[in-house]
Amino acid sequence: MPKKGNAIFLSYSLSQDTPLYGNGEGIHFTSNKEIEKGDSCNTMNLSLPNHSGTHIDFPYHFNPEGKTINDYPAEYWQFDHIETIDLSGKVDDSQIIGPDFFSGLGNLATELLLIKTGYGIYRSTDRYTLTPPGLSADLALFLRKKFPKLRCVGMDLISVSSYGNREEGRKAHCAFLDPDKGEPILLIEDMKLDTDGNFNKVIVAPLLIDKTDGAPCTVFGYSE
């Protein structure tokens, strides 16, 4: 097991200021009970889309016959072979990221691929929500062939889908998540990848919402 003190968060905390795809709305946190008002404790009511903040897309997101969170056992969420590709400064607004960027990778044991674009620094701006890069549909087939054990792809983008090129984004979601294309590769979007470290273990903890197509998650990265 990882040693204490070697873990960092690779996910963002949720708040009413959490950006949503295309500058969407719908996050509301309200106070329910307050000690200051004479209640016995403090509690909150939370209302938010299930694709808020750092979250996972399941196949059911784009396929009514696709797997939901219920189809993945607890052991699925531990990753011991992680590869990171740093594309910071190499991609531009609304650019579609294809296989050409990944030719230098080659660890056949990779279970989790982290794609760092550097766009996390724009998270409070329209560059993150309206004009970020996206992933190409062709990338899914390429990664399946290159990494036969790949189970998840995480990224510091609000979505696989570039808001300015949503048609390609829909194709990309389906290519990664569609079981007819191969074993689904789950997508972890809006990750916090502002570190230069390498990880020897990553644990993803999705919010267990029954039969959901996507869920917010907390992600822990461990280094030696």
Residue 190 burial class via C-beta count within 10 angstroms: exposed 0-12, middle 13-18, buried 19 and up: buried
pLDDT band at 178 (very low <50, low <70, confident <90, very high): confident
Domain ranges of the chain: 51-222
The per-residue pLDDT for range 118-144, each reduced to its tens digit, is: 999 999 999 999 999 999 999 999 999
- pLDDT per residue as tens digits for the range 46-73: 999 999 999 999 999 999 999 999 999 9
CB-count burial class (<10 Å; 0-12, 13-18, 19+) for 147: buried
CB 108 within 8 A of CB 147: yes
Q: What residue spans of the chain are helical by DSSP H? A: 126-129, 137-146, 166-177
CATH 3.50.30.50 for domain 51-222, yes or no, is yes
Summarised one tens digit per residue, pLDDT across range 191-224 is 999 998 789 999 999 999 999 999 999 999 999 7
| Confidence category of residue 162, pLDDT binned at 50, 70, 90 | very high
CA distance 118 to 108: 25
Per-residue pLDDT at 4 exceeds 70: no
Residue 40 CB-density burial (10 A; 0-12 exposed, 13-18 middle, 19+ buried): exposed
Distance CA 200, CA 16 (A): 33
**Is residue 182 very low, low, confident or very high in pLDDT (cuts 50, 70, 90)?**
confident
pTM for this structure?
0.95
Give residue 179's pLDDT band: very low, low, confident or very high (50, 70, 90).
confident
70-97 pLDDT, tens digit per residue, is 999 999 999 999 999 999 999 999 999 9
Q: What is the mean pLDDT of residues 29-33?
A: 97
